[in-house]
Amino acid sequence: MPQEQYAHRSTLSSAEGPHVYKVGIYGWRKRCLYFFVLLLMILILVNLAMTIWILKVMNFTIDGMGNLRITEKGLRLEGDSEFLKPLYAKEIRSRPGSPLYLQSDRNITLNILNQDMKPVTQLVTASAVFGPRKNLE
């Protein structure tokens, strides 16, 4: 009996013919994959273009960025600059023959520290607040 079942199955499979399985992606899946690859390529190109644009606008070079140059002695700032947060520096000098100009909308505080990083002297320049004028006469 088991031999008859096997014989019957072999005759059925030979009558149907060999099965051909398609290997790969077809139909809507293939179109979605191509769309995804195209979208990634566009995003890469836009990202590269924006990176190059930022480098050009910010004037990045090997020496530094914009008016800020990196030298052997430290950083050199050429021209006007704006600092949004406190500036800590060991030394600030102006160009020879030109004054050092500091401007602030609130105040300027200069601290002189000793070796233990404790303030020894402090210079504070704050905006003056005047009340109504009184007649001193």
What's the pLDDT tens digit per position in 75-96? 888 877 788 888 888 788 787 8
Question: Which tokens hold the place of 109?
Answer: 């505080």
Contacting residues for 110 by C-beta, under 8 A, at least 6 apart: 122, 123, 124
Contact 87, 100 (CB under 8 A): no
Who wins on pLDDT, 67 or 16? Answer: 67
What's the pLDDT tens digit per position in 40-68? 999 999 999 999 999 998 888 887 888 88
What confidence category does residue 72 fall into, taking pLDDT thresholds of 50, 70 and 90?
Answer: confident
Contacting residues for 118 by C-beta, under 8 A, at least 6 apart: none
Task: Return d(Cα 60, Cα 51) in angstroms, integer.
Answer: 11
Task: Return d(Cα 2, Cα 14) in angstroms, integer.
Answer: 19
pLDDT beyond 90 at 110: no
Cross-strand bridge partners of residue 81: none
What confidence category does residue 136 fall into, taking pLDDT thresholds of 50, 70 and 90?
Answer: very low
What confidence category does residue 129 fall into, taking pLDDT thresholds of 50, 70 and 90?
Answer: low
Task: Return d(Cα 72, Cα 114) in angstroms, integer.
Answer: 26
DSSP per-residue codes, 53-82? HHHHHTTB-SSEETTEEE-SSSEEE-S---
Average pLDDT estimate for 11-26: 70
What confidence category does residue 127 fall into, taking pLDDT thresholds of 50, 70 and 90?
Answer: low
* pTM passes above 0.85: no
* Amino acid of residue 124: V
